[in-house]
Amino acid sequence: MTARVSVPGSTSNLGSGFDFLGIAIDLRLTAELVDGEGSPEYSGTLEGMTSEHDLIYRVLQTAEVSDGARLKVHSEIPISRGLGSSGAAAVAAYALVTAKKGDTFDVDLVFELARQIEGHPDNVGPSAYGGAVLSASRPTRMQFSKDLALAFAIPDQAVRTDDARRILPSTVPRETAVDQASRAAALVRGLANGDQGLIAYGMQDRLAVPYRKDLIRGYDAAVNAATDAGAFGTTISGSGSTLVSVTTSDKATVVSEALAWGLKQEGNPAVPFVSSVSEKGVSFSY
102: exposed, middle or buried (Cβ count in 10 Å: 0-12, 13-18, 19+): exposed
Instruction: Give the end-to-end CA distance of the chain in Å, rounded to a whole number.
Output: 7
Cα 182 from chain centroid (whole Å): 23
pLDDT at 49 over 70: yes
CA distances from 140 to 74, 132, 159, 280 (A): 28, 8, 28, 14
Distance CA 280, CA 66 (A): 26
pTM score: 0.92
Confidence of residue 9 (pLDDT cuts 50, 70, 90): very high
Of residues 286 and 189, more confidently modeled? 189
Confidence of residue 24 (pLDDT cuts 50, 70, 90): very high
- Give me the pLDDT at residue 47, please: 93
Q: How many CA atoms lie within 13 A of 145 on its CB side?
A: 19
Confidence of residue 1 (pLDDT cuts 50, 70, 90): low
pLDDT at 138 over 90: no
- Give me the pLDDT at residue 105, please: 81
Element (H, E) at 9: strand 3-12
Show the DSSP H helices in the chain as ranges. 55-63, 85-101, 107-118, 121-129, 161-166, 174-193, 196-202, 209-212, 219-229, 252-265
Per-residue pLDDT of 68-118, as tens digits, reads 788 999 999 999 999 999 999 999 999 999 877 766 788 999 999 999 988
Confidence of residue 13 (pLDDT cuts 50, 70, 90): very high
Walk me through the domains of the chain, giving residue ranges and CATH numbers: 3-141+278-285 (3.30.230.10), 143-275 (3.30.70.890)
Confidence of residue 217 (pLDDT cuts 50, 70, 90): very high
**Which of 37-46, 60-69, 201-210, 248-257 comes out lowest in average pLDDT?**
60-69
Confidence of residue 197 (pLDDT cuts 50, 70, 90): very high
